[in-house]
Structure 1
Amino acid sequence: MKRRRYAICGLSGRALGQFAKPILTTFAGGSELVGLLDPDLARFEVFRSRFPEQADIPAYGEDEFVRMVEETRPDCIIAAGRDDTHARYILSALQMDLDVISEKPMATTGEDSRQILEAESRSKGTVTVTFNYRYAPIHTKIKEMVSEGRLGRITSVDLNWYLDTYHGSSYFKRWNRERALSGGLSIHKSTHHFDLASWWIGQKPAEVFAYGALNYYGADSEWNPEREDGRHCGTCDVSSQCAYYSRWNARSKKLAVQDDHLGSLGGQQGAFPYTGYRPDRCVFDSDIEIEDTYAAVVRYDGGAMMSYSVNFSLPYEGYRLAINGTKGRLETVEYHIPSRIPFPTPVQTIDYFPLFGSKETIHVVQREGRHGGGDPLLLEDLFMGEDSSRPFRILSGAEDGAYAVATGEGVWRSAQENRPVRLSEMLGSSPQQELAVNRKGGV
């Protein structure tokens, strides 16, 4: 079997751990990494230090995409850099008839998502979006129950997502706090949640109404020890008065960053391996322009409605979910990363309530791996082909990515403009007809 050739655009921490490492190790028999592209030369050095035996893989600057493709001849491009770079490389790849694997979110605007759908319809290439939450065993079990009709026709969903003060604050230390780079957290983070809900119930979002606010971070936060811009956690002289810093850092171990996205790439005393980038900016800076709290209602094309909220500064991390249908209801509560929760947490189960009958508690086999055991299964589908034994598809495509992004943008627009927002404002009134979308991996 021919080995599939990959080039990575954007050497983020996730690009190294989630894509480069598996290609070079677990899936090396059928995969080959042939090219790297990034605007920061220092990131190539980080790659070579982590994979010294692969130091000869060609590296290219951010404007050398065509040259990279011509010289390295990849079969598939992996877009894994900063969110605002995804659309650029996806569109370039599709124009050259290449397949694409994109980190979520696929883009940062509904307009870019629409352009990607149009480009895919003209291209021989296809787009896969890595919505790894779908692969967590508890989530596939929920999909199975809905698909089997145990809930009947789905009428409503209640989804409340919580991020703790460790994870939630990390977005306000890094580039995510700039809307132009991330689309805001209703896109960067909530696309995960919107995709899950749409996939679970088999319906596409049509309209959104939402409220949003900045309650915990920014200069006006009641937790701000002193109003001053430009501080960094690693060198801050009031860090001992900062609850967000003190909660996760001992005085005897003053790290410049302790971030669950960068992990070992965080340096000490402000020494970071990347050029012009520090992931420990102050969460109380006045230039923070994204929200940390949302509440929204989403209407779907199949008649279901969802009540959704997300909060980026809570004492623990996880979610509460309920799905209601004409034949019953399911409920589940997840406590994510128990080691960061200051109280005992139960193993996650699903409670099923038939409309007329007795409650049933369902236990799901746990799996090792990040994102609830989902990442290893996602990687197998990406690099070995989809598991054909499943009764439903999990791997997601460009249409899934577009609807998730458009829902996130709709949430932000609605919160800003105080009105319901239809997804057709961003994707067109009928993506299936107007854009002639060739569904190669849709919901």
Structure 2
Amino acid sequence: MSKKRYVQIGVGGRARFFYEAVVSDFKETSELVAFCDINQTRMDYANKVIKEEYGVDPVPTYKCDKFDDMIKEQKPDFVIVTTVDRTHHTYIIRALELGCDVITEKPMTVDEVKAAEILDAIERTGRQVRVTFNYRYAPHNTKIRELIMNDTIGDVTSVHFEWLLNTEHGADYFRRWHRDKRNSGGLLVHKSTHHFDLVNFWLGAKPETVFAMGGLMFYGRENAEKRGVTDFYHRAYGSEAAKNDPFALHLDQNDRLKAMYLDAEKEDGYYRDQSVFGEGINIEDTMGVLVQYNTKAVLTYSLNAYMPWEGFKVSFNGTKGRIQVNVVERTYVNAGGSSELEGALKQKSITVYPMFGEPYEVEIIEGKGGHGGGDPILLSDIFGEPKEDPFNRAASHVDGAMSILTGIAGNKSLATGQAIKIDDLLKL
């Protein structure tokens, strides 16, 4: 069997997840043939990683304005898109037009106009787009889908879903490019796409109507005085004020972050270590969303990005009972590694409450790897030999669109104070 050829555009923090898998665990089925990015220093670092850590010869590198040349010269089967969210559509569409299939990091894109352009390109070219929702593959999330599929609590009528980002992980979105909603769509798109996709996946349902409220209530210059911040700085590197700031990210103290960002600044001027209480933050850190689905189920969802622990709580109410789920997750800084939560690391529990019967705990078979053990399974599904999956975890462009449309509708609701119909944004 011939190997599938892959090129990757965007070699920032999330990119390593993909290119390391291609050159190591899946080298028998897959071949990395090129990198593409706006920053040569970062591409050189990626080549250094695959050479020094995996013994793979460096691959050709191309600047983003030479994307077409890369496709013509390297003839890839797949383009892996891991650029800044607002540019996903550009490279997805062009890759399709040049005869490639696409694997894209979530979110697929950041607004309904770009989503429509992607869907049009897929229909026009007949090519495929795969969105990498690794949370679907986490054993505890798959188990929830299994319980609901098996009619454990009957028809699901309502879901309450609370996601907590702690002050290490949550703060990180306010230090980097995500802090500008034009880049990321805000957390309702960039982060919540995971969560809204899970609800779609768990329920086998499509969102119809969305209403949201929220704001920037903890981070940002406007909240600095309330948090006791009086010594301001733009970015942490070289700042005296940052030395005593528990929210500061010190790039020079982490070899990976230094190589990927601090050493690369000279090319693109991107500061990875901006102050979470600085100017220019226009995304929300506190959000509440109400969603109704085509099954008539109702979701109440909240996301807070400054909590003392990381994880989620979700409850499903059905016509035959209730499921309660509690998950405490490992916290991390993107590209900077994970840290351990003291006392409550990676706790998971699923409890079923039958309508007429005793509650019981559901066994969860622990998985190894990131995203609750979902990452290795997802990677195998993408780069290895796909297996029959009764849960249909592989996410298509339609799944990618449905998840972001909930967040996009939430953003429009925040701006207008009105409930938003998904079909008014894009018909799927």
| TM-score (normalised: structure 2) | 0.92
C-alpha change, 1:224 and 1:281, in structure 2 (3 Å) is farther
Structure 2 counterpart of 1:437: none
Give distance in 2, aligned partners of 1:360 and 1:41: 55
C-alpha change, 1:43 and 1:240, in structure 2 (3 Å) is closer
Q: Output the amino acid matched with 1:196.
A: L
Structure 1 residue 168 displacement after superposition: 0.6
Name structure 1 gaps, 5 residues minimum. Answer: 250-254, 432-443
Name structure 2 gaps, 5 residues minimum. Answer: 332-338
Within 5 A, what are the aligned runs for 1:287-302?
A: 287-302=280-295
Secondary structure at the aligned position of 1:302 is classed as coil
Give distance in 1, aligned partners of 2:228 and 2:235: 13
Structure 2 counterpart of 1:134: 136
C-alpha change, 1:109 and 1:385, in structure 2 (3 Å) is farther
Q: Output the amino acid matched with 2:403.
A: A
Structure 1 residue 257 displacement after superposition: 6.5
Give distance in 2, aligned partners of 1:285 and 1:48: 34
**Alpha-carbon contact 1:37-1:60 (below 8 Å) kept:** yes
Structure 1 residue 240 displacement after superposition: 4.9
C-alpha change, 1:346 and 1:29, in structure 2 (3 Å) is closer
Structure 1 residue 111 displacement after superposition: 1.5
Secondary structure at the aligned position of 1:113 is classed as helix
Secondary structure at the aligned position of 1:63 is classed as helix
C-alpha change, 1:83 and 1:33, in structure 2 (3 Å) is same
Question: Which deviates further from its counterpart, 356-365 or 159-168?
Answer: 356-365
**Residue 335, structure 1, aligned to residue 339, structure 2:** no
Structure 1 counterpart of 2:302: 309
Structure 1 residue 132 displacement after superposition: 0.4
Q: Output the amino acid matched with 1:411.
A: G
Cα deviation per residue 1:127-174 (whole Å; 9 max; x = unaligned)? 100000011100000000111111211111110000000011111111
Q: Output the amino acid matched with 1:232.
A: R
Alpha-carbon RMSD across the aligned residues, in angstroms, is 1.9
Question: Which deviates further from its counterpart, 365-374 or 41-50?
Answer: 41-50
Within 5 A, what are the aligned runs for 1:254-403?
A: 255-256=250-251, 264-267=255-258, 271-274=262-265, 275=267, 276-337=269-330, 340-344=340-344, 347-388=347-388, 390-403=389-402
C-alpha change, 1:203 and 1:257, in structure 2 (3 Å) is farther
Cα deviation per residue 1:363-407 (whole Å; 9 max; x = unaligned)? 20111101101000000000124321x322101010011111111
Give distance in 2, aligned partners of 1:206 and 1:152: 21
**Alpha-carbon contact 1:223-1:243 (below 8 Å) kept:** no
Give distance in 2, aligned partners of 1:360 and 1:345: 23
Identical columns (%): 35
Give distance in 1, aligned partners of 2:76 and 2:344: 48
Give distance in 1, aligned partners of 2:252 and 2:422: 38
Q: Output the amino acid matched with 2:85.
A: D
Give distance in 2, aligned partners of 1:213 and 1:308: 15
Secondary structure at the aligned position of 2:158 is classed as strand
Structure 1 residue 239 displacement after superposition: 2.9
Secondary structure at the aligned position of 1:64 is classed as helix
Q: Output the amino acid matched with 2:181.
A: R
Structure 2 counterpart of 1:32: 31
C-alpha change, 1:178 and 1:423, in structure 2 (3 Å) is same
C-alpha change, 1:51 and 1:344, in structure 2 (3 Å) is closer
**Residue 86, structure 1, aligned to residue 88, structure 2:** yes
Structure 1 residue 72 displacement after superposition: 0.6
Give distance in 2, aligned partners of 1:138 and 1:182: 28
**Alpha-carbon contact 2:329-2:347 (below 8 Å) kept:** no
Give distance in 2, aligned partners of 1:272 and 1:329: 52
**Alpha-carbon contact 2:6-2:30 (below 8 Å) kept:** yes
Q: Output the amino acid matched with 1:288.
A: I
Structure 1 counterpart of 2:334: none
Q: Output the amino acid matched with 1:182.
A: S
Structure 1 counterpart of 2:227: 223
